[in-house]
């Protein structure tokens, strides 16, 4: 599935969930009927099959940070530097995404504490143009890391993206080295960089900052990979292995440290932050 | 024998006419000789005017021309004393990326690049220039070795993209690309990258995150192939030409966007019409960039490289 159709699907399910007369929803994984409010109260995890649904930025902040966190402003970047249009103008797509989302682009940072331990948390939201990495995402990532260095604390990122934002052409590709400059500066400062891979994380995002964490955590069942499944299928012309590019598959192949249930994410994160805390230089 | 691209058809027709006349002439018929010279002049002018205004999609086709010089040609024509170094020491040897020690006009360097192959057998051997994790991990190993021994790194980029396959994913294609990009950024020695054909997405940037990035005149560099962008954004395979234009994939566009630092001129009619001259121009351009970078100390090289990429997308 292309990132675009994924966005479309996620948007339509979102719209359904938001409609008041749609109190019930079907788990996309096991097909069980769920009371929408119960599903949300269960961190958008299906109580029957443990399918982890996609959650929005705000819900991520609330899940992982203690109350009282501060959402950081999204840095401004040049808009539509290529004057791009496909079937629609890029600025129109941006406008539509902004109307449907609370934040101005796909990556938002917050500064706060995780069970009392300071951290800057970045969250990528798949609902904003498939979480795609353009200049705004690259610049926000760099800003998040800079803030973590200024606060002398860890940078934690929850990734979710179909890949680079094609409407920004080569400039989106250049965010791969750009964000890598940032992870290197965090390492040089001796600060932890923790990646939480959520569904889905693919393309240029996976091939840059999403794979460079000191510790790599994945949510159960999350799709994580470089190439899209359809592209691979077209190349090899055979059935893909069961569970291919899922979190558990990556764990089995040594690409992530652990697969952690959403309800345990915060305590896991807090434990890691405790261990990897920067020792004060005497 | 040059194989002609679709848009070169008028030139191809003229060339065919010239060849026919040559076959019939015995050297004594002055009228035919004059006609041949006239047609040759016309053909050269037509080639020059065609190549003077190539569309982004036409450039994409030139960049992918089956006879375009590849890594092995540049090793032969731009470099001397090449010592190939193989293997990632982790899994295997990936012939889609070749690397080793070489001399560029006497200057010792580490040269790394994609190789697409030139016929069916070699294309299969080199996997059409689409590298797997072991290819990128070999590049990392060679870059780190270069840094250790103070050898500047030169990369020649020419790939449709990293290989999309099950085993590549299994062995961590994304991680290998990310680490290779990181290795470029960590180099304490000068690094110059040249996009000589196709610069395809992450598979290209993994060995192109350099102090200076050059492009051959008709090379292309993009986040996704025009065909890929067409099928995702336009939902049809027929809009590749529009996608190539919209994405700004040409050397001239990327110079304007400050994504590259210089353009290496190609002979009229593209690199494949005169590989030796192209290779000479490339060697000269690489040498100039390396000489300028050699004035920087390791810290200066690192910060120049970091600032170069941090600036992209900042207001």
pLDDT digits (tens, 9 = 90+) for A48-87: 999 999 999 999 999 999 999 999 999 999 999 999 998 8
pLDDT, position A7: 61
**Residue B255 contacts A where some CB pair is shorter than 8 Å:** no
The helix or strand, by DSSP H or E, that contains position A158, with its residue range, turns out to be strand A154-161
**Average pLDDT of each block of 10 consecutive residues along chain B (315 residues)?**
91 93 78 90 95 96 97 98 98 98 98 97 97 98 98 98 96 98 98 98 97 98 94 91 96 96 97 98 98 98 97 83
pLDDT band at A144 (very low <50, low <70, confident <90, very high): very high
Residue-wise pLDDT for A168-213, tens only, equals 999 999 999 999 999 999 999 999 999 999 999 999 999 999 999 9
Tell me B165's DSSP state: S
**Residue A19 contacts B where some CB pair is shorter than 8 Å:** no
CB atoms within 10 A of CB A266: 16
Report the residue of B206, B313, B314 to disrupt the A interface, i.e. the one with the largest count of A CBs within 10 Å. B313
pLDDT, position B313: 79
**Residue A173 contacts B where some CB pair is shorter than 8 Å:** yes
Q: Is the pLDDT of residue A282 over 50?
A: no
Q: Is the pLDDT of residue A278 over 80?
A: no
- Asked whether the beta carbons of residue B179 and residue A77 sit closer than 8 angstroms, the reply is no
pLDDT band at A275 (very low <50, low <70, confident <90, very high): very high
CA-to-CA distance for B290 and B107, rounded, in angstroms?
A: 9
Contacts of A189 in chain B (CB under 8 A): none
CA-to-CA distance for B203 and B131, rounded, in angstroms?
A: 7
> pTM of the predicted model, to two decimals?
0.93
Annotated binding site of A for Zn(2+): 27, 30, 46, 49
The helix or strand, by DSSP H or E, that contains position B185, with its residue range, turns out to be helix B173-186
Instruction: Give the angle subtended at the CA of B21 by the CAs of B20 and B26, to the nearest 5°.
Output: 120
- Asked whether the beta carbons of residue B249 and residue A169 sit closer than 8 angstroms, the reply is yes
pLDDT band at A123 (very low <50, low <70, confident <90, very high): very high
Mean pLDDT of chain A: 92
**In B90-236, beta strands by DSSP E:** 97-104, 107-114, 153-159, 191-200, 212-216, 220-222
pLDDT, position A10: 60
B293 phi, psi to nearest 5 deg = -70, -25
- Asked whether the beta carbons of residue B166 and residue A240 sit closer than 8 angstroms, the reply is yes
Annotated binding site of A: 27, 30, 46, 49
pLDDT, position A234: 84
Nearest to B223 among A3, A164, A245 (CB): A164
Burial of B46 (0-12, 13-18, 19+ CB in 10 A): middle
Residues 149-178 on B with a CB inside 8 Å of A are: 162-166, 168-175, 177-178
**Residue A68 contacts B where some CB pair is shorter than 8 Å:** no
Helices (H), chain A: 3-18, 36-41, 57-64, 90-100, 135-151, 169-173, 175-188, 229-236, 247-252, 265-276
Give the contacts of A135 (CB within 8 A, at least 6 positions apart): A77, A78, A81, A168, A171, A172, A175, B312, B313
Burial of B267 (0-12, 13-18, 19+ CB in 10 A): middle
- Asked whether the beta carbons of residue A225 and residue B169 sit closer than 8 angstroms, the reply is yes
pLDDT band at A277 (very low <50, low <70, confident <90, very high): confident
Nearest to B165 among A180, A203, A232 (CB): A232
pLDDT, position A102: 96
Q: Is the pLDDT of residue A18 over 60?
A: no
CA proximity to B72, closest of B92, B97, B104, B105: B97
Nearest to A177 among B174, B185, B231 (CB): B185
- B42 Cα to chain A: minimum distance (Å): 37
Q: What is the gyration radius of the CA atoms in chain A, in angstroms?
A: 18
- Any idea of the CA torsion for A173, A138, B183, B244, to the nearest 10 degrees? 0
Instruction: Give the angle subtended at the CA of A203 by the CAs of B198 and B212, to the nearest 5°.
Output: 45
Token pair of B137 as six digits: 């991990």
**Beta strand B153-159 with B107-114: parallel, antiparallel or unpaired?**
parallel
- Asked whether the beta carbons of residue A173 and residue B309 sit closer than 8 angstroms, the reply is no
Burial of A17 (0-12, 13-18, 19+ CB in 10 A): middle
Residue-wise pLDDT for B64-98, tens only, equals 999 999 999 999 999 999 999 999 999 999 999 99
**Residue A24 contacts B where some CB pair is shorter than 8 Å:** no
Closest residue in chain B to residue A207, using alpha carbons only: B174
- A6 Cα to chain B: minimum distance (Å): 11
Q: Is the pLDDT of residue A262 over 50?
A: yes
Closest residue in chain B to residue A179, using alpha carbons only: B310
Q: Give the CA distances from residue A50 to residues A17, A30, A33, A34, B60, in Å, rounded to whole numbers and listed in that order.
A: 19, 9, 14, 12, 47
- DSSP-based three-state secondary structure for A224: strand
pLDDT, position A239: 86
A259 phi, psi to nearest 5 deg = -110, 120
Dihedral sign for Cα atoms in the order B266, B272, B273, B276? positive
Q: Examine residue A200 and say whether the peptide bond preceding it is cis (omega within 30 degrees of 0).
A: yes
- Asked whether the beta carbons of residue B205 and residue A174 sit closer than 8 angstroms, the reply is yes
How many Cβ pairs within 8 Å bridge chains A and B? 180
């Amino acid at each position: 599935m292309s990132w675009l159709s994924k966005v479309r699907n996620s948007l339509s399910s979102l719209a359904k969930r938001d409609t008041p007369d749609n109190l019930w929803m079907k788990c996309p994984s096991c097909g069980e009927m769920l009371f929408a409010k119960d599903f949300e109260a269960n961190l958008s995890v299906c109580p029957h099959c443990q399918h982890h649904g996609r959650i929005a930025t705000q819900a991520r902040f609330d899940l992982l940070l203690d109350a009282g966190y501060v959402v950081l402003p999204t840095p401004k970047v040049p808009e539509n530097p290529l004057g791009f249009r496909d079937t629609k103008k890029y600025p129109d797509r941006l406008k539509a995404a902004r109307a449907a989302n609370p934040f101005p682009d796909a990556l938002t940072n917050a500064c706060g504490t995780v069970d009392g331990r300071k951290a800057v948390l970045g969250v990528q939201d798949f609902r904003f143009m498939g979480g795609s990495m353009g200049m705004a995402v690259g610049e926000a990532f760099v800003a998040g890391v800079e803030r973590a260095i200024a606060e002398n604390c860890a940078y934690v990122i929850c990734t979710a993206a179909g890949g680079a934002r094609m409407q920004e052409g080569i400039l989106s590709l250049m965010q791969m080295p750009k964000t890598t400059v940032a992870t290197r500066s965090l390492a040089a400062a001796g600060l932890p960089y923790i990646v939480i891979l959520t569904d889905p994380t693919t393309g240029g995002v996976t091939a840059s900052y999403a794979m460079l964490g000191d510790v790599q955590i994945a949510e159960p069942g999350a799709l994580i990979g470089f190439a899209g499944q359809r592209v691979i299928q077209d190349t090899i012309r055979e059935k893909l292995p069961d569970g291919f590019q899922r979190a558990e598959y990556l764990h089995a192949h040594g690409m992530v440290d652990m697969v952690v249930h959403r309800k345990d994410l915060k305590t896991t994160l807090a434990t890691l932050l405790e261990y990897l805390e920067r020792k004060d230089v005497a | 024998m040059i194989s002609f691209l679709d848009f070169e058809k008028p030139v191809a027709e003229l060339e065919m006419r010239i060849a026919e006349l040559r076959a019939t002439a015995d050297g004594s018929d002055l009228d035919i000789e004059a006609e041949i010279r006239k047609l040759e002049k016309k053909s050269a002018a037509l080639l020059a005017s065609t190549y003077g205004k190539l569309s982004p999609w036409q450039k994409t086709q030139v960049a992918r021309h089956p006879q375009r010089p590849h890594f092995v040609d540049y090793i032969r024509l731009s470099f001397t004393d090449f010592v190939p170094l193989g293997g990632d020491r982790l899994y295997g040897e990936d012939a889609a990326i070749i690397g080793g020690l070489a001399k560029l006009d006497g200057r010792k360097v580490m040269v790394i690049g994609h190789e697409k192959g030139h016929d069916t057998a070699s294309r299969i051997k080199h996997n059409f220039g689409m590298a797997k994790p072991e290819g990128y991990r070999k590049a990392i190993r060679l870059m780190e070795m270069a840094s250790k021994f103070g050898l500047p790194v030169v990369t020649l980029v020419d790939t449709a993209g990293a290989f999309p396959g099950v085993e590549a994913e299994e062995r961590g294609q994304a991680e290998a690309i990310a680490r290779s990009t990181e290795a470029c950024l960590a180099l304490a020695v000068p690094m110059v990258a040249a996009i000589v054909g196709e610069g395809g997405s992450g598979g290209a940037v993994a060995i192109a995150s350099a102090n200076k990035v050059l492009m051959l005149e008709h090379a292309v560099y993009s986040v996704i192939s025009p065909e890929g962008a067409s099928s995702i954004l336009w939902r049809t395979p027929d809009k590749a030409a529009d996608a190539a234009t919209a994405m700004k994939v040409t050397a001239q566009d990327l110079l304007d966007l400050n994504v590259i630092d210089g353009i290496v001129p190609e002979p009229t009619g593209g690199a494949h019409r005169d590989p030796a001259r192209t290779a000479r121009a490339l060697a000269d351009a690489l040498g100039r960039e390396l000489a300028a970078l050699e004035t920087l100390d390791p810290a200066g090289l690192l910060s120049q490289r970091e600032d170069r990429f941090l600036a992209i997308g900042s207001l």
